[in-house]
Amino acid sequence: MFDAKEFRLVQICGLNAIVQVDDLEEVSNYYQNIGYFDELSMFVDSGLDLECAHMGLFTKLGTLYVRYHPESLIEHFKLFVTCINTPMLIPIYDEQQHWQEFTNLYIQYGEYDTTRTTMLYHSPEAWEHMQFIDVIIKVINVELSYKTTHFYVEEHHGLIKALFNVLAARIGHNCVVHDAQC
């Protein structure tokens, strides 16, 4: 077992290794295999301050947060959104089922159609009315707007008027009325 002093020494020595993209995964796997998740997170986090910090470090810390410290996800993503390889995080968010964080990731990444779908399929964990309204006006696929009205009729009929106010210019009124009657 390592004690705190040894981890500090490992951290000092290891920073040179994790700035090499090829070594980062090996170091990460070693720490995870021996169960030192918190120490690995702190270790990678300390590398973010280095002048030669690369996208892999920011992304790796994001994957660690997804798996071991989901409460730190949103702050990390907001601070380093431009430094993270977002497509690498998406499957991990999905695997860990952190739907609210997953939704925020897609919003930051500009994937509004996918955000809308995630929010509806994983309601109530991922759905929040005002955030959803902000997303739905950016959705490109108009067919998704029709499916959204059905969702509101089924699950949030008290908010349907707010949705219609936002979608009025984008969707055909006859189709919406037909959906609402079915």
- The pLDDT tens digits for 107-155 are 888 889 989 999 999 988 889 999 999 999 898 887 777 788 888 888 8
Tell me the domains of the chain and their CATH numbers: 1-85 (1.25.40), 97-182 (no CATH)
Sequence-ordered list of residues with C-beta below 8 angstroms from that of 80, at least 6 positions apart, any chain: 48, 58, 62
Instruction: Give the model's pLDDT for residue 2.
Output: 52
Question: How many C-beta neighbours within 10 Å does residue 68 have?
Answer: 14
- The CA distance from 22 to 18, in Å, is 8
- Asked if 107 contacts 135 with a C-beta cutoff of 8 angstroms, the reply is yes
> Interhelix angle for 160-167 vs 129-136, to 10°?
20
What is the rounded radius of gyration, in angstroms, for the C-alpha atoms of the chain?
21
> What's residue 1's pLDDT?
46
- Name residues of the chain where pLDDT drops below 50: 1, 4
